[in-house]
Amino acid sequence: MIGFVILFALFIWVILTIFSMILFHKICRKIFPSYRWSGVVGVFIGFMLLMGGWFVYWGVEYLQVRSYVNEMCKQSGIKIYITPEEWKQMVGGEDAWRELGRSNLNPPDHMKDNRIVFNGEIYEIFWQENDRLSIYHHQRQDGIRYVSANQKVLYDEMSGKALMQYNYTTVGSGSLEDFMGWLKTWINNIPSCKNDRAWSLGKNSYFLMRIPENKL
């Protein structure tokens, strides 16, 4: 059904564009009858008004989004604040660390509204690794449309300290609610800088007690 609606809309758009080109061809020929190029100019004006102008706009938008993503990706990556060995000592040593284990659950009801302020930004709880460690997430769109800057923090609930932070950028052309954005599939071809594997390896090191540096 959606595909039919899109095809029908494109058909109407093409028909209107052709009509516009014919109309402006006649207008320009009438205004400048002695100039051979007047008809070509009229066709060009008619095309740009209904279709060509959009192509130019989308092309410029694509270049802007790509440039912004490249700039944002320079800030992406993983930052360690407290190493696994340091955190192991913080919890009371080997035995205390082993007792913590790993629950790996959605936050319980009494924690679902938990928020922290880290580096001036508000993070919401996303996941609970065990009784002490939780993952908090922050997302913002403060630069350009279709680009989101994301941060995840592995946070020690007892000490109130962040152990590590993961910064990454995602690109998306929008949802079905944003119909025009949803149609811009070329936006999705812009490479983002999301590296979930590196985040997973780094996060797991607080349970496996090792960080494979060549993987981060």
pLDDT mean for each 10 residues of the chain (216 residues)? 79 94 94 90 95 93 92 92 93 87 83 92 93 93 84 95 95 64 80 89 77 46
What length is written for the chain? Answer: 216
With beta carbons less than 8 A apart as the criterion, state whether 185 and 176 touch: no
Distances (CA, A) of 149 to 14, 145, 195: 37, 11, 13
pLDDT of residue 179: 54
Place of tokens 């440039």: 67
With beta carbons less than 8 A apart as the criterion, state whether 122 and 140 touch: no
Backbone dihedral angles phi then psi of residue 7, each to the nearest 5 degrees:
-65, -40
How far, in Å, CA of 79 to CA of 117, rounded?
Answer: 17
